[in-house]
Amino acid sequence: MDMARVLREVRLMRFEEVYDRRLGGRLTVSEAADILGIDERTFRRWSRRYEDDGAEGLVDQRIGKASHRRAPVDEVAKILGLFETRYFDFNVKHFHQKLRTEHNMTRSYAWTKNKLQEAGKILKGKSSGTHRRRRPRKPLPVNSCVLTRSAR
């Protein structure tokens, strides 16, 4: 069972428990919403959907659908083809400029770079080192500790 399904089942069980208590008059809408950690309006919408469609009304409709912002496969193939054939000796920055000016592409530089890296056409940049290196602490001389304490 995947994690999304488990979370969906837990959310459904918690909602049904709070919903039953709400119908019994033991909770107000604001109290029920607080228990679930949602807004009152969201609780009312969920209640309406639960009454109309049952447990299926609470299923998140976004899960399993492709993003509307996802690039079409043919556009990605065209960009990879252009990089392999015409612009094989360009770096990503110049390749992206050519895509914008000559091929009317509107994708961002980061998107172009990521697609080329995913396809294995370019290598990822070397990560920089740590900004500050931690070093082991210098041990205190034993004599100085004794002297500073006795001087007090």
For the chain, domain boundaries: 3-58, 73-118
The pLDDT tens digits for 20-49 are 999 999 999 999 999 999 999 999 999 999
**Per-residue pLDDT for 109 more than 90?**
yes
Tell me which of 96 and 135 has the higher pLDDT.
96
Task: Answer whether residue 148 shows pLDDT above 60.
Answer: no
pTM for the model:
0.51
Per-residue confidence (pLDDT) for residue 146, from 0 to 100? 55
Cα–Cα distance measured from residue 23 to residue 144, given in angstroms and rounded to the nearest whole number: 75
Q: Counting beta carbons within 10 angstroms of the beta carbon of residue 129, is it exposed (0 to 12), middle (13 to 18) or buried (19 or more)?
A: exposed
% of the chain at pLDDT higher than 70: 93
> What is the pLDDT of the chain when averaged over all its residues?
87
Six-digit token pair at 76? 């990605």
